[in-house]
Amino acid sequence: TISTTSPLDDYEATVTGTDISPAEAEQTQQNVPVLKLLIDPLETTVTLDSIKVHAVGSPRDDNDVGSVKLFLDDGDGTFEPGVGAGLDGDPIATTTVAGGYATLNPTANETISTAGKTYFIAVDVGSVINADDGHVIGFEVENPSTDIVFLDVDITGYNLNYTNQKGYITQATPTAN
């Protein structure tokens, strides 16, 4: 699910979110896809700092998810975790759910040109002890204008300072499976 509110500042990007969750997943199953995000800057290249997702399962229980992962698509639009030709590689960010939220911070600067990039959010389902049978695991970007954060590079003298980038999501389109 994607929702949005008013613009934050002075350049634009669009995000399209697609639910790619399977009908069911087993306890301890790894790399279960839940969300596909296409981030498309309209006028300038941006650097992704973080994506915050909100757990919206039924009933929502942080223990149902062992970890949340962010993968960069290899260009074919299909989620294929793993290393090798035709695969999306290892996750570029991994975190856990706390208080119903997970913030994914890529380990390296993630530059997105005006051609856009596709990302996948996947989870490792909790262990038999922690994840309850019959629970529904779901995630959303609750407010793309604040939950998808970009970086600016501000060169002051010889220092490289990072600040929040002046950008906003102008269109957020939810799509179902």
For residue 62, the model assigns a pLDDT of: 80
- Full DSSP string of 67-129: EEEEEE--SSSS---BSSTTS-BS-SEEE--BTTEEEE--SS-EEE-TT-EEEEEEEEEPPTT
173: Cα separation from own chain's centroid: 15
Q: How far apart are CA 27 and CA 3, in angstroms?
A: 29
Global confidence as pTM: 0.80
Instruction: Tally Cβ neighbours within 10 Å of residue 43.
Output: 10
> 144 φ, ψ to 5°?
-55, -30
Q: How far apart are CA 134 and CA 140, in angstroms?
A: 20
Per-residue pLDDT of the chain (177 residues; tens, 9 = 90+): 344 443 434 457 788 888 899 988 888 899 999 999 999 888 778 888 899 999 887 777 787 888 999 999 999 999 999 988 889 999 999 999 999 999 999 998 889 988 999 999 999 988 755 555 677 888 888 888 788 888 765 444 434 433 334 444 444 555 544
